[in-house]
């Protein structure tokens, strides 16, 4: 028995080895052809060359409780409402601020509700929670998370633009890029990092805030109209 085992070991050692697999052969086996994916995406340099989008509507600051009733009346009559929030930026590690401004746009009129001054009025909360009132926003999960730090709120009736634009093959997901693609105008972000808790908001801050909320309505209406054809966009290109 011992002699047989020795013979088998010797035969195994003398058997020819399998040819070594090279790195190139391994790479060839692992390479899988990638199907090109096309979509609408505007290059950064193209967007920078576009003219700035102006705000042409009416702006109403709501910083006293007695102004809430008019705002609610106008907003409830609107076909849809554009939604956004602003928070004072922090430039120190560990320092955080609460939501200071809530923007609700009826299209041609935008209400800037100064939460840091009057809090969240119940009639405004009811609009945000009413599923029958269409609200349009972008990156709304971030807005809701920040609002939930201060208020008991159950948002309903919201359309998230980042999800909605995908069915139109728009690959970009920022408000500025989407607006640039659809309207050929960029939304300036120069006021984003300003103090939204300031005692008085400048006209530039007001216009910036109003435009962000109103742009949500404009984007949704443009896509709903059916005039946008992704393949005909100058920004239709391979995105993978």
Per residue, the 3-state secondary structure of the chain, as one string, reads: CHHHHHHHHHHHHHCCCCCCCCHHHHHHHHCCCCCCCEEECCCHHHHHCCCECCCCCEEEEECCHHHHHHHHHHHHHCCCEEEEEEECCCCCCCCCCCEEEEEEECCCEEEEEEHHHHCCCHHHHHHHHCCCCCEEECCHHHHHHHHHCCCCCCCCCEEEHHHHHHHHCECCCCHHHHHHHHHCCECCCCCCCCCCCCCCCCHHHHHHHHHHHHHHHHHHHHHHHCCCCHHHCCCEEECC
Convert the pLDDT of each residue in 104-123 to its tens digit: 999 999 999 999 999 999 99
226: phi > 0 → left, psi -120 to 50 → alpha, else beta; which? left
Residue 92 has pLDDT above 80, yes or no: no
Instruction: Give per-residue pLDDT as tens, 182-195.
Output: 999 999 888 888 89
Q: Does the pLDDT at position 1 exceed 70?
A: no
Structure confidence at residue 189 (pLDDT) = 84
pLDDT tops 70 at residue 39: yes
Domains located in the chain, CATH noted: 54-167+184-228 (3.30.420.10)
pLDDT tens digits along 129-175: 999 999 999 999 999 999 999 999 999 999 999 999 999 999 999 99
Which of the four pLDDT bands, split at 50, 70 and 90, describes residue 101?
A: very high
As a whole number, mean pLDDT of residues 53-67 equals 96
pLDDT tens-digit map of 201-214: 999 999 999 999 99
Q: Report the predicted TM-score, pTM, of the whole model to 2 decimal places.
A: 0.84
Query: Which pLDDT does position 13 carry in this prediction?
Result: 47
Least confident span in 6-15, 58-67, 88-97, 140-149: 6-15
Q: Does position 235 have pLDDT exceeding 60, yes or no?
A: yes
């Amino acid at each position: 028995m011992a002699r047989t085992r020795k013979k088998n070991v010797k035969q195994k050692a003398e058997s020819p080895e399998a040819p070594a697999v090279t790195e190139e052969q391994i790479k060839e086996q692992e390479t899988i052809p990638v199907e090109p994916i096309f979509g609408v995406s505007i290059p950064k340099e193209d967007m920078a060359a576009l003219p700035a989008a102006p705000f042409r509507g009416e702006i109403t600051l709501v910083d006293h409780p007695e102004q809430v009733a008019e705002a609610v009346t106008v907003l409830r009559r609107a076909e849809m409402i554009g939604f956004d929030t602003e928070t004072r930026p922090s430039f120190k590690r560990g320092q955080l601020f609460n939501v200071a401004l809530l923007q609700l746009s009826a299209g041609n009129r935008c209400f800037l509700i100064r939460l840091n001054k009057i809090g969240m009025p119940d009639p405004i909360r009811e609009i945000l929670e009413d599923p029958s009132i269409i609200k349009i926003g972008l990156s709304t999960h971030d807005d809701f998370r920040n609002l939930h730090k201060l208020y008991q709120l159950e948002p309903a009736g919201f359309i998230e633009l980042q999800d909605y634009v995908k069915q139109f093959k728009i690959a970009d997901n920022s408000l500025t890029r989407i607006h640039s693609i659809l309207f050929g105008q960029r939304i300036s972000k120069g006021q984003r990092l300003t103090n939204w808790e300031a005692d008085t908001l400048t006209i530039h801050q007001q216009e910036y805030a109003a435009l962000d909320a109103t742009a949500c309505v404009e984007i949704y209406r443009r896509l709903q109209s059916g005039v946008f054809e992704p393949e005909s966009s100058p920004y239709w290109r391979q995105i993978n």
